[in-house]
Structure 1
Amino acid sequence: METNLVVEGFKFLVIGMGTVFLFLAFMIFMMGIMSNIVHKFFPEVQPKSVSSAQNTQDAQNNQKKIVAAITAAIKHHRES
């Protein structure tokens, strides 16, 4: 009687785990299809390539703006 229960328990284990595995495999398959559909209708925009000299110049301009903003904030704080 007990061996029969153990066999039945393993049967339920295999059926349950198989069901979960098949559902997850199906879900992954469907997500791949949906991803392909989304990429088909909404392709990714390729960013423009910018030269490194321009990047360096932009970074220096940003640093100057940041320093100016911090200086103005400190001056305003001291006057208040």
Structure 2
Amino acid sequence: MVTDMLTDAVELMAIGMVTVFVFLSILVLLVQLMTMSVRRFFPTKKVSSSTVEVVESDVISPRIVAAITAAVHQHRQQQQ
């Protein structure tokens, strides 16, 4: 009696684990297939270094400082 129930439980567990494994394997394969198809039909464009402009400045704009100051002041007023 108990051994029959344990056998049934092991069979159900094995069927469940195999089902999950097969489902996840199919899911991984489909995701890889979609990735390959997207890369094939919609290739990324390479950006040349001459078109990218990097702005490096140690000076913060006075407008940004004023906006941050106003936001901090308003936040502190709401906290009181």
Q: How does 1:45-56 map to 2 (within 5 A)?
A: 45-50=45-50, 55=54
Tell me how far apart the structure 2 counterparts of residues 2 and 33 of structure 1 sit (CA, whole Å): 46
Count of residues paired in the alignment = 66
Q: List runs of 5+ in structure 2 lacking aligned partners.
A: 71-80
Tell me how far apart the structure 1 counterparts of residues 38 and 62 of structure 2 sit (CA, whole Å): 44
Query: Percent of pairs identical after alignment?
Result: 29
TM-score using structure 2 length: 0.67
CA distances 1:19-51 after superposition (whole Å, capped 9, x unpaired):
01001100100110011101111112223225x
Q: Letter of the aligned partner of 1:16 in structure 2?
A: G
Structure with the higher fraction of residues in helix conformation: 1
TM-score using structure 1 length: 0.67
Offset at 1:15? Answer: 0.5
Correspondence for 2:75: none
Q: Structure 1 runs of 4+ off > 6 angstroms? A: none
Q: List runs of 5+ in structure 1 lacking aligned partners.
A: none
